[in-house]
Amino acid sequence: MAGEARERRFRAYRKGHRGERLAALALMLKGYRILARRHRTKLGEIDLIARRGDLVLIVEVKARQTLTEAMEALSRTSERRIEAAADLWLARQPDYGRLSIRFDMVAVLPRRWPIHVENVFHGN
C-alpha cells in the first residue's frame, strides 16, 4: 500500500516537471525569458517566473486532462500563497519599482501544445 502511494507521488512529480518544461518552452517561444523555475520561499512556491521587458509573469503550471480542470485546480488558497511568494521575490529585485507583474497560468493538456492563460487572477 505504501509503495503504491509512493509510486503515485513519483509519477505526479515527474508529470509536474515535464509540464513545467513544456510551459517554459512555450513561454520562451513567445519571447519571455525564464528567470526561475520552482522558486521556493518560506511562504510558498512559484512554478515559473518569466520576464519580457518590464513585464514579469508569475506562472502557475497545471497539468490536467482539460482546460476546465486546470482552471478549477487553481484555488483561492493557492492564489494567496502565490501572491505572497511573488511579493517576496519582487521585493528582492533592484528594479522592482518599474516592473509590472501579472499572474498567469499555463495549462498542460495531453497531446496538445500548452495553453497560456493570461491574468488568470489579479494580485492584491
Q: What is the pLDDT of residues 34-87, one digit of tens each?
A: 999 999 999 889 999 999 999 999 999 999 999 999 999 999 999 999 999 999
Q: Residue 19 is part of which domain span?
A: 2-121
pTM, full prediction: 0.88
pLDDT higher at 10 or 120: 120
How many distinct structural domains can be found in the chain?
Answer: 1
What would the grid cell of residue 53 be? 521587458
Q: Contact at 8 Å (CB) between 25 and 59? A: no
Q: Quote the cell numbers at residue 114.
A: 500548452
Residues with Cβ within 8 Å of residue 95, at least 6 apart in sequence? 54
Residue 82 maps to which CATH number? 3.40.1350.10
- How many other C-beta atoms lie within 10 A of the C-beta of residue 59? 26
- Region of poorest pLDDT, from 14-18, 27-31, 74-78, 85-89: 14-18
Work out the angle at residue 22's Cα, subtended by the Cα atoms of residues 33 and 106, and round it to the nearest 5 degrees: 80
Length of the chain: 124
Q: What is the full DSSP assignment across 75-87?
A: -HHHHHHHHHHHH
| Type of residue found at 75 | S
